[in-house]
Amino acid sequence: MTVKQDERQRNLEGFLTLAGWGGAKRDPLPGDASFRRYVRLDRGRGERCLLMDAPPPQEDVRPFVKVARHLLDCGASAPRILAVDNDSGFLLLEDFGEDTFTRILARDPEQETALYELAVDCLSSLHGNSRSGELHLPQYDTRVLLREAALFCDWYFPAVTGRAPTTTQRDSYLQSWREIFTALPPTGQGLVLRDFHVDNLMLLPERSGVAACGLLDFQDALQGPLAYDLVSLLEDARRDIDTQMAALLKRRYLNQTSVEPDSAAFDAWYAALGAQRHAKVAGIFVRLLWRDGKDVYLKHVPRVLRLLASKLESEPALAPMAEWVTCHFPDYKQPLPPPKVWATRALPIGP
């Protein structure tokens, strides 16, 4: 253990002792795609909570705390904050248990419709009732959308082609996305949780209504186009969803959400944000192995590429991006080369 790690461990022990959980049994949970780690604490008599260990400067717990409290004020089920150390990056959180939608669907696929309807109802309720402007969150604007979309060019492109994109290729790639988003009509704005999918949703059957949907992993929330969270739910990188069911769920959302009266505008943003998210996620999943040594997400890349290709081939508004891949990256739909081929190369230059 390094001096820095030793100091962090001492800070952690002091935090837990001060919060009354110093002697609790500790059960580390599987890691995710971030620098955060989670530990379930159990001090007996049915008293459990979760420790979030989010080391600065890579992580910052303050956005999580702010958004969690806002979600609770809106009647949504975010974990209650039990103890906070902002400077060291430690939180104690209410423990929602282990019933993520992903786990439930794995053991009981018959619950799919009910779980997705609950998720959609939760999202529409949040968008209808949320006073997200009071949070003063950064805007999920074109600048941020382009920065995220660049991950496809910066990480996925070199993994497939064996070379970094040229400056001209990268500039034209970003210009294609700029043209797409500039041409979109105005749309409803609100709280965008940004990772609204089955891995981050939990069933809380003892609660009624939309409160039965527990929300996780929202520390990166922004203020932006409402369609983003719905498309991340219904065009999930992690599992296939029947297209007819997805269409019905999308209509269910629109029927319940008065803040987006123009369904044509919503549809246009839904298509563009879906393609942007798929491009971004493909880049992220490659980066997680190439840079961070995490290979668990790579198995989802073929699905992400199918979703991206479907969007580019069916949505005329995405023509600039479709033209770019035809010209500069025609092999983007091909399977990735084995990681041993590309993961040993020099890392791409990029975030």
Q: For residues 327, 332, 338 and 344, what is the CA-based torsion angle, rounded to 10 degrees? A: 50
The fraction of the chain above a pLDDT of 70, given in percent, is 97
Residue with the two structure tokens 């989802």? 300
Instruction: Indicate the pTM of the whole model.
Output: 0.93
Backbone phi and psi for residue 173, each to the nearest 5 degrees, phi listed first: -60, -50
Q: What pLDDT shows up at residue 112?
A: 98
CA distances from 282 to 142, 153, 279, 288 (A): 19, 10, 5, 10
pLDDT beneath 70: ranges in the chain: 1, 3, 32-33, 130, 259-261, 349-351
CA distances from 283 to 289, 300, 304 (A): 10, 12, 10
In whole angstroms, give the CA distance from residue 104 to residue 158: 37
- Please report the domains of the chain, with CATH numbers, ordered by start residue: 3-94 (3.30.200.20), 101-342 (3.90.1200.10)
* Cα 171–chain centre separation: 26
Residue with the two structure tokens 């989010």? 54
Q: For residues 312, 314, 315 and 320, what is the CA-based torsion angle, rounded to 10 degrees? A: 40
In whole angstroms, give the CA distance from residue 9 to residue 41: 16
End-to-end C-alpha distance for the chain, whole angstroms? 28
Residue with the two structure tokens 């786990």? 103
Q: What pLDDT shows up at residue 139?
A: 96
Contact 321, 177 (CB under 8 A): yes
Contact 343, 290 (CB under 8 A): yes
Query: Where would I find the H helices in 43-100?
Result: 62-73
Secondary structure letter of residue 155 according to DSSP:
I
- CA nearest 233: which of 202, 270, 196, 269? 196
Q: What pLDDT shows up at residue 4?
A: 75
- The H or E element containing residue 214 is strand 213-215
Q: Is the dihedral of CA 77, 79, 80, 85 positive or negative?
A: negative
Q: Could you check whether the bond before residue 339 is cis, i.e. omega within 30 degrees of 0?
A: no
Q: What pLDDT shows up at residue 117?
A: 98
- CA nearest 172: which of 146, 198, 144? 146
Q: What pLDDT shows up at residue 131?
A: 76
Three-state DSSP at 235 gives: coil
Q: Which two tokens stand for residue 256?
A: 């319940």
